[in-house]
Amino acid sequence: MRENKITDTSAADARRGKDIQGIPWERLSISRQEYRRNRLEQYKNYENVPQSGESSEKECKPTKKGGAYFEFWHNTRSVKSTILHFQLRNLVWSTSKHDVYLMSHFSIVHWSSLNGRKREVLNVSGHVAPCEKHPGSLLEGFTETQVSTLAVRDKLLIAGGFQGELICKYLDRPGVSFCLRTTYDDNAITNAVEIYESPSGAVHFMASNNDCGVRDFDMERFQLSKHFSYPWPVNHTSLSPDGKLLVIVGDNPDGMLVDPQTGKTVMPLCGHLDFSFASAWHPDGNIFATGNQDKTCRVWDVRNLSKSVAVLKGNLGAIRSIRFTPDGQFMAMAEPADFVHVYDAKNGFEKEQEIDFFGEISGVSFSPDSESLFIGVWDRTYGSLLQYNRCRNYTYLDSLL
């Protein structure tokens, strides 16, 4: 505990001038401002389509910075948030204002901001096998799973792996419920998982794979219910709040809206210039957003898909994770490293708060009550979990406009 007190940073520490990540700039040969300038100049964005980041700039909507929507609360370095795949950054999930689940090396851990403690939920470095018998479940389980993506909702946790593995665990039950391998394709990595509740109230989850497949699983019957195939690897899907539309993005500049019952395309989504790895719906069911390696997040309105509502630009690189607050007020978009942008979604995405730190981002998550924002930071020395809390009387800093 003594180490935690030394290395962690609280809001009170930050107010006294301590760096939120505990970086001792005063003892280093470079200032924070100089290091930031170097990062902006030297960081190389990964692109599948050359020059996509530069080409996208002309469409970007200028935004006013200086918003103060979430304030720094705590940074804990006792939890090391890690990633295994440089393009997949959905490894942090909050189930309450105080409870967070994240990948830390080969363990899925739970962190409580109430007591400042972590506990291991699942270790995938060795042999993981299901303790329940269900049709289609691989009773032999998996060994040394490399987790590529994670999803946690309510009491259900799903971990996807580099070889198409799916490990499903109920947090209120001992052991793993079942293990699946979505495909035996050599290029079968599970890119994303989304847990949702069907109109009937049944819990489902949807897995997106590099084998160009989207698979829907019914957790009441523990069975595959739908399987759709597309012309390119699917990197992320998002189901609309009413369950009637599905956003699909992947290794193609154009995404698509599809009918989740049939898998057929309703409308293409044209505008991005590179491959996409993120998507999210606003709770109102009309607005959704997609994140791309062209360094932009595009905001769309289902009532008029002829063009994007807004094109929002990152500083360093691709937009690899997007989240809306459950109350619909804000949207967060995360770059691969250093920057998380929080936009005022309720007022047209014209104003933003820029959260600035150093390190690769493993994931971002708002709490279900919209009160907290958690950011996983992967770094050899300063790997941590950042927590920001909602500013109830947030103001806009006109002096920074």
274-328 pLDDT tens trace: 999 999 999 999 999 999 999 999 999 999 999 999 999 999 999 999 999 999 9
Q: Which CATH architecture has domain 2-400?
A: 7 Propeller (2.130)
Q: How confident is the model at residue 400 (pLDDT cuts 50, 70, 90)?
A: very low
CA 346 to each of CA 90, 325, 326, 351, 352: distance values in angstroms, whole numbers, following the listed order: 24, 11, 12, 10, 12
pLDDT of 393 higher than 80: no
Domain residue ranges in the chain = 2-400
Of all residues in the chain, the percent with pLDDT exceeding 90 is 88
- What is the DSSP pairing of strand 351-366 with strand 64-65? parallel
Rounded Cα distance, 345 and 366, in Å? 14
d(CA 275, CA 298): 13
| Helix, coil or strand: residue 167 | strand
Q: How far is CA 4 from the centre of its chain?
A: 26
Residue 401: which pLDDT band, with cuts at 50, 70 and 90? very low
Q: How much is the pLDDT for 6?
A: 53
pLDDT value at 1 more than 90: no
Q: What is the mean predicted confidence (pLDDT) over 232-251?
A: 97
In the prediction, which pLDDT does 394 show? 56
Token readout for 9 is 């940073």
- Report pLDDT digits (tens) over 101-155: 999 999 999 999 999 999 999 999 999 999 998 888 899 999 999 999 999 999 9
Per-residue pLDDT at 94 exceeds 80: yes
Q: How far is CA 45 from CA 142, 254, 293, 336, 378, in A?
A: 34, 20, 8, 9, 17
Task: Report whether pLDDT(399) > 70.
Answer: no
- Provide mean pLDDT across the span 201-230: 94
Confidence category of residue 168, pLDDT binned at 50, 70, 90? very high
Residues whose CB is less than 8 angstroms from the CB of residue 96 and which lie 6 or more positions away in sequence, other chains included? 367, 368, 369
Task: Say what the pLDDT of residue 396 is.
Answer: 47
Please check whether residue 320 is in contact with residue 89, taking contact to mean a CB–CB distance below 8 angstroms: yes
Give the mean pLDDT of the chain: 93
Mean pLDDT of 44-71: 94
DSSP readout, 325-371? -TTSSEEEEE-SEEEEEEEEGGGTT-EEEEEEEEEEEEEEEE-TTS-
Segment (H or E) for 39: helix 32-42
